[in-house]
Amino acid sequence: MGYHVKPPQSLKDLPKWPSIFLAGSIEMGKAEDWQAYIGNNLFSHDIIILNPRREHWDSSWKQSIDNPVFKEQVDWELDALGQADLIFFYFAPKTKSPISLLELGLFANSTKVIVCCPNGFWRKGNVDIVCQRHHIPQVDNLEDGIKLIKTKIDQIK
């Protein structure tokens, strides 16, 4: 059965299962909780789901390196991205997702990225070009993303 990890939970001493980081649109809670949908559809597999959507996020927190809670969140995400076997990016239509775009740039050269960028995302053209240039597999919707994630998990095992 899947193992779900969210910040600020420790990334140490996790089961020796394949792991996936669910990167993408959150928009400080404005985007739908697509991570829960993906997680629920993968939970029957022996997989670690690294979900950056913090249970008790306070949008009034100062986004500064000097804010220990904010720094803890960003460090957790960067550590989890680096540790993950797969990174699934979802760029929700009608969101901006600047941090997710930054993270895609950080990991575009890796071989562990899958992207779902439906029509309606404001920088879909840029995302499509980055994916094409770096041979990143793309899917059109979350359901196809789940299928591809399952295939990739089976290849990792």
CATH no. for residue 99?
A: 3.40.50.450
**Looking at the predicted structure, is the pLDDT value of residue 104 above 80?**
yes
Res 78: pLDDT: 98
Judge whether 6 and 36 are in contact, CB under 8 Å. Answer: no
Domain that holds residue 85: 3-53+64-156
> β-pairing, 138-139 with 113-116?
parallel
DSSP characters over 3-49: EEE-TTS--SS--SS-EEEEEE--GGGTS--HHHHHHHHHTTSS-EE
Residue 101: inside a domain, yes or no? yes
Q: How many domains does the chain have?
A: 1
Residue 140: inside a domain, yes or no? yes
Q: Mean pLDDT over residues 64-81, rounded?
A: 97
Residue 58: inside a domain, yes or no? no
**Looking at the predicted structure, is the pLDDT value of residue 72 above 90?**
yes
**Looking at the predicted structure, is the pLDDT value of residue 142 above 90?**
yes
- Confidence class of residue 26 from pLDDT cuts 50, 70 and 90? confident
Mean pLDDT across the chain:
94
Q: Read off the pTM.
A: 0.95
Q: Mean pLDDT over residues 51-63, rounded?
A: 88
**Looking at the predicted structure, is the pLDDT value of residue 35 above 80?**
yes
Express as a percent the part of the chain with pLDDT over 70: 98
**Looking at the predicted structure, is the pLDDT value of residue 146 above 80?**
yes
- Confidence class of residue 95 from pLDDT cuts 50, 70 and 90? very high
Res 29: pLDDT: 63
**Separation of first and last alpha carbons in the chain:** 15
Residue 88: inside a domain, yes or no? yes
Res 43: pLDDT: 81
